[in-house]
Each structure stands twice: as structure tokens, then as C-alpha cells.
Amino acid sequence: MLNLKAILKGKVVILCLGNPGRGDDGAGSAIASAIKGKTDCEVIDAGVTPENYTGVIIKLKPDTILIIDTVLFEGRPGEVRLFSGEDLRSGKISTHDVSPKLLIEYLRSSTNAKIYILGIRPKSNKLGETLSDEVKEAVDKIVLHLSPAQGKVIDNIKGVC
């Protein structure tokens, strides 16, 4: 597994995806709200329309893009894994939508940035639910490790990855 410190190099955009009205799918937005303005990284809460932010991301000329979203992979709810954009393109993992594949391909060709996905295994994405306890715990750990209180992004999200 890659560690966060090793990949968040140069100018970094953290692109958070998800729908807060659909249970654990709101994890990305929760993370964006907690770290926006409190990190040296550019944080974008793209919600369910990341394609609306491609122009902004391209103008920022990032070296690295970290996409945070719920991802379906073999694992327990609340488990967090770091994937390369290639993992999504190769079918090793699945997001709740097709658009992240297209988004990654477009951003890669438009920015030449290295792209990674910090995937959180959801428990439930049902309409009207809030974050499950498992995913809340994962969100809290991710926020802790991306927060400036740490002075910088630390190596691994211990207890999560």
C-alpha cells in the first residue's frame, strides 16, 4: 500500500465526492468540510458533479490529485484503502458511478497529474440516512491525518489502512 506522505507531492488538489443525503456516500463531503481552509492542499467538495470542477482543477495545475470517495471493494464497512487511478480503470475497484473513470482519464490527460483515490468502503448509501458509525470513524481518522494540527500529512492512516 502507498502512504499519503509519499504521494501528496507538489501542488495537491483534494477532490472530495459524494452525496451527504445518501448515508455513507456523504463521507467525501464531510471530509472536505472539515479540512477546507485548514490545509495547504486545495480542497474541492464536488458533491455528485465533479465534472463541474474540471476547469478549476486544470487551472490550478496540480502535480497530484487525491480523490476521496466511497468505493466498493472487498473489505469491511469503514475500511479505507489508497488506490491509484489505474486500479479504477482496470476494474479492481468500483465506485458508485461510472463518471469517476471518465473524470480520472480526462484529468490525467489535461493535467498530467498523478491521481490517487482514497476509497472508503460504505456500509449503506440509502437515501435519507446519515453516515454509519464505521464510516464516521474512518472520516475522523482521515481528517486527523490531513489536518494541519499534525504539521503535515503523516505517513499512514493507522488503524484504517
Beta bridge partners of 50: none
Cell numbers given for 99: 463518471
Q: Which pLDDT band, with edges at 50, 70 and 90, does 145 fall under? A: confident
| Helices assigned H by DSSP within the chain | 4-7, 27-35, 54-60, 85-90, 99-111, 133-146
Residue 81 is predicted with a pLDDT of: 92
For the stretch 4-46, pLDDT in tens is: 777 889 999 999 999 999 999 999 999 999 999 888 899 999 9
Is residue 95 packed enough to be buried (19+ CB in 10 Å), middle (13-18) or exposed (0-12)?
Answer: buried
Largest alpha-carbon pair distance within the chain? 38
Task: Tell me the domain boundaries of the chain.
Answer: 4-150
Residues 6+ apart with CB under 8 A from 13: 41, 42, 43, 44, 57, 60, 62, 64, 65, 66, 113
Please give the Cα distance from 161 to 147 (Å, whole number). Answer: 17
Report the relative pairing of strands 42-47 and 12-17 from DSSP bridges: parallel
The pLDDT of residue 161 is above 80:
no
Q: Which pLDDT band, with edges at 50, 70 and 90, does 135 fall under? A: very high
**Candidates 2.40.37.10, 3.40.50.10800, 3.40.50.1450, 3.40.1360.10; CATH matching 4-150:** 3.40.50.1450
For the stretch 69-109, pLDDT in tens is: 999 888 999 999 998 867 665 555 555 555 677 888 899 99
pTM: 0.86
Residues 6+ apart with CB under 8 A from 146: 4, 14, 31, 35, 39, 41, 153
Q: Which tops the pLDDT comparison, 110 or 98?
A: 110
